[in-house]
Structure 1
Amino acid sequence: MQVSIETTSGLERRLTVGVPAARVDSEVDSRLQKASKNVRLPGFRPGKVPMKVMRQRFGAGIRQEVLGEVMSRSFQEAVVQEKLRPAGQPSIEPRSLDAGRDLEYVATFEVFPDVEIATMSGFTVTKPVAEVTDADIDNIIDVFRKQQGSWEEVERAAETGDKVNIDYSGTRDGAEFEGGSAEGAELELGSGGMIPGFEEGIVGMQPGEEKTLELSFPEDYHNEELRGAAVSFAIKLNSIKALVPAALDEELFRQYGVEEGGEEQFRKEVAENMRRELNNAVVNKVKQQVMDAVVAAHTSLEVPKALVAQEVDALRQQMFQQFGGAAPQDLDLKSLLPDDMFRDNAERRVKLGLILSEMINRHELKADPAKVRTAIEELAATYQDSEEVINWYYGNPDQLATVESRVLEDAVVDKLLEDAEVREQPCSYQEAISQAQAAAEAE
Structure 2
Amino acid sequence: MQISQLQVNGLKQEYKVIVPAKDIEKKVEERLQAIGKNVRLPGFRPGKTPFNILKQRYGGQALEEALNHTVNSSVGQIIKDNSLRQATQPNVSIVTFDEGKDLELKVDVEVLPEIQVKDFSKISLEKLKVEITDAEITKKIDELLAGHKKYQELTKERAAKKGDMLHLDVSVEVAGKPFAGFGKQMQVVLGAEEKLLFGNIESALEGAKLHGKVDVDDQFPDDFGDKKLAGQPVKFHFTITKIEEPIKFKLDEAFVKEMGCETVDDLKNRIKESLDKEYSNLARLRLKRHLLDNLSDVYKFDLPETLVKNEFEGIWKRLQDELAHAKEQGTLEPEDDRPEEELRQEYQGIAERRVRLGLVISEVSRLNKINVSEEEIRQAIFQEAMRYPRQMKEVFEFYRKNPQAVDHLAAPILEDKVVDFILAGASLKEKKVSTDQLIELIRGVVPGFEEETSDKPKAKKPKAAAKSKTAKAKGAE
TM-score w.r.t. structure 1 length? 0.59
Measure, in 2, the Cα distance between the counterparts of 1:246 and 1:344: 55
**Aligned partners of 1:356 and 1:412 also within 8 Å:** no
8 Å CA contact retained: 2:97, 2:104: yes
2:358 pairs with one of 330, 333, 353: 353
1:308 to partner: Cα distance: 2.8
Task: Provide the secondary structure at the position in 2 that maps to 1:439.
Answer: coil
List alignment gaps of at least 5 residues for structure 2: 152-159, 164-190, 203-245, 323-339, 387-399, 401-405, 448-465, 467-476
Stretch moving more, 27-36 or 407-416: 407-416
| Change in 2 beyond 3 A, CA 1:136/1:82 | same
Cα 1:93–1:252 shift into 2, 3 Å: farther
Q: Match of 1:52?
A: 52
- SS of the equivalent of 1:129 reads strand
Tell me how far 1:282 sits from its aligned partner. Answer: 2.6
What CA deviation, in whole Å up to 9, does each residue of 1:357-384 have, x standing for no partner? Answer: 445666x575799xx99xx9xx99xx9x
Aligned-residue offset at 1:108: 1.6
CA distance in 2, matches of 1:19, 1:122: 52
Residue in 2 aligned with 1:236? Answer: none
Letter in 2 for 1:346: A
Which of 429, 439, 446 is the aligned partner of 1:440? 446
| Residue of structure 2 in register with 1:84 after alignment | 84
Partner of 2:3: 3
Residue in 1 that maps onto 2:131: 131
Secondary structure, in 3 states, of the residue corresponding to 1:17? strand
2:435 aligned partner: 429
Contact 1:246 1:252 in 2 (8 A): no
Counterpart of 2:424, as a letter, is D
1:67 Cα offset (Å): 0.9
**Aligned-residue offset at 1:27:** 2.2
Counterpart CA distance in 2 for 1:185 and 1:345 is 50
Is 1:409 equivalent to 2:436 in the alignment? no
After superposition, the CA RMSD in angstroms is: 4.8
Distance across 2 between alignment mates of 1:69 and 1:57? 20
Q: Deviations over 1:324-345 (max 9, x none)?
A: xxxxxxxxxxx9xx98785433
Please give the secondary structure, in 2, of the residue aligned with 1:293. helix
How many Å separate the matches in 1 of 2:256 and 2:21? 76
The residue that corresponds to 1:223 in the other structure is: none
Q: State whether residues 130 and 280 of structure 2, in contact with CA within 8 Å, keep that contact through their aligned partners in structure 1.
A: no
TM-score by length of 2: 0.55
User: Partner residue of 2:283?
Assistant: 282
Deviations 1:3-24 (A, max 9, x none): 1224453211212122233333
- Preserved CA contact (<8 Å) 2:372 2:413: no
Match runs of 1:112-127 below 5 Å:
112-117=112-117, 124-127=124-127
Q: 1:120·1:297 contact (CA, 8 Å) conserved in 2?
A: no
Q: Give the corresponding residue for 1:111.
A: 111
Match of residue 293 from structure 2:
292
CA contact (8 A) 2:122 2:426 kept: no
User: Partner residue of 2:24?
Assistant: 24
Letter in 1 for 2:92: I
1:266 correspondence with 2:267: yes
**Paired letter, 1:139:** K
Name whichever structure is richer in strand by fraction.
1
Distance across 2 between alignment mates of 1:109 and 1:163: 59
**Do 2:128 and 2:431's aligned partners in 1 also have CA atoms closer than 8 Å?**
yes
**How far apart, in 2, do the equivalents of 1:102 and 1:296 lie?**
50
How far apart in 2 are the matches of 1:71 and 1:246? 76
Contact 1:120 1:294 in 2 (8 A): no
Q: Which amino acid aligns with 1:345?
A: I
Structure 1 residues 131 and 28, CA gap change in structure 2 (3 angstroms): same
Q: Please say if residues 37 and 46 of structure 1, whose CA atoms lie closer than 8 Å, have aligned partners that are also in contact.
A: yes
Task: Give me the whole-angstrom Cα distance separating, in 2, the residues matched to 1:436 and 1:264.
Answer: 31
8 Å CA contact 1:115–1:355 kept in 2: the answer is: yes
Please say which of residues 82-91 and 310-319 is displaced more in the overlay: 310-319
- d(CA) in 1 for partners of 2:93, 2:365: 37
Q: After superposition, where does 1:197-216 map in structure 2 within 5 Å? A: none
- The CA deviation at 1:138 is 3.1
Distance in 2, Cα, partners of 1:105 & 1:297: 40
1:40, CA displacement in angstroms? 2.1
Q: CA deviation at 1:415?
A: 1.7
- In structure 2, the CA distance between the partners of 1:437 and 1:144, relative to structure 1 (3 Å rule), is farther
Please give the residue correspondences for 1:163-182 in structure 2 after superposition, counting only pairs within 5 Å: 163=193
3-state SS of paired residue (1:46): coil
1:87 is displaced (CA, Å) by: 0.5
Partner Cα distance (2:435, 2:294) in 1 = 25
List aligned pairs for 1:325-364, cutoff 5 A.
Answer: 343-359=348-364, 364=368
Q: What is the aligned-residue identity percentage?
A: 26
> Aligned partners of 2:306, 2:74: CA distance in 1, in Å?
21
Change beyond 3 A, Cα 1:162–1:260: closer
Deviations 1:141-170 (A, max 9, x none): 445556555999549xxxxx98599xxxxx
- CA apart distance, 1:411: 1.5
Going from structure 1 to structure 2, the CA distance change for 1:23 and 1:253 (only over 3 Å counts) comes to farther
- Tell me the distance in 2 between the aligned counterparts of 1:317 and 1:245: 51
Change (3 A) 1:126 1:409: closer
